[in-house]
Structure 1
């Protein structure tokens, strides 16, 4: 299992390994000078560059960015009593989120709709403020948030509480006009409404006021995005 490595620069050196900076930078489609600045801690990578380097280095984005990987790499190596160490989180189809949040499925139906179960570190969930949340994992099917989240990314989500009182800002999965959408939501107290924002500028943004005849429903919050998970 990978060590934590204290700094980002040390973790970057780890994934570069025996490769030259030039070779690694070409694989990442980045300049050699940019990689060198990251190692010297003269600059920090953008989210997109971080995602790219993690993919090329075959590590999770979480580990490269923080030194902590929320996913246990080999469940078979865990002690027999893992109750206080890990939490299992179901992976579900994106289109099944509504059924899971509405509790319209029987326990048997829920079980049959689970693709697989992921093993997450209880300590990581606690530090992320997610230990008491109703969590699930989905694969992102859209590109409207492409500057932040891209199609195919793995998302750790917390299923919604059922109202908008807790929604001030963040990226959410919502139901609008009977469609499941991913939007960045920002509450606007002046307009008394919510801005529904796409990080991909080719998509149109919207403002929906509290008394709008076309309300939207929050189904889940996207808490973390992890690509190219390495086991």
Structure 2
């Protein structure tokens, strides 16, 4: 027989892992999930376990499967009828991208998110309307890497150039100026993740549609 207290404690630890991986606070995560902070606080301190509805909300907000969050086990990321994985859009918990698992190679779907672009800042590498697949676990700023950043609520799309004195964040479109960041300021950059797949033209099934722009800096 499974010890209920132990089960709640293990759930609490998994939830803490999810929040830590997102580099956010419990309060911010509660807002992201659409659940009251006092409720999430109880989960984090193993004072209670979630209802099924809240479990689904927590899993979506953390970009993990309901099964893993509830049990710590992950049997499959595949759809029962075909080799399809559902990748959430980064700021729309109700929107998902249906993607052939063959495109993921060895990456786990729970570390991925998607974002739709409406800027020409990286033209011709990707175009307005493109969908980017992001590895949220890869946040290192290494040379020539395509990254997604978040600054003051806006998503930025940049190519990294490593310099002796810091890094330069480049736009493939020459109409946008480069941003130079000194070594002692690099830690202030909020890296969402690394672009691992660019889909310039796609037919996808989503529940909602949102576009993301970039402000010139």
Q: TM-score, normalised by structure 1?
A: 0.46
Q: Which has the higher contact order (CA 8 A, sep 6+)?
A: 1
Q: TM-score, normalised by structure 2?
A: 0.49
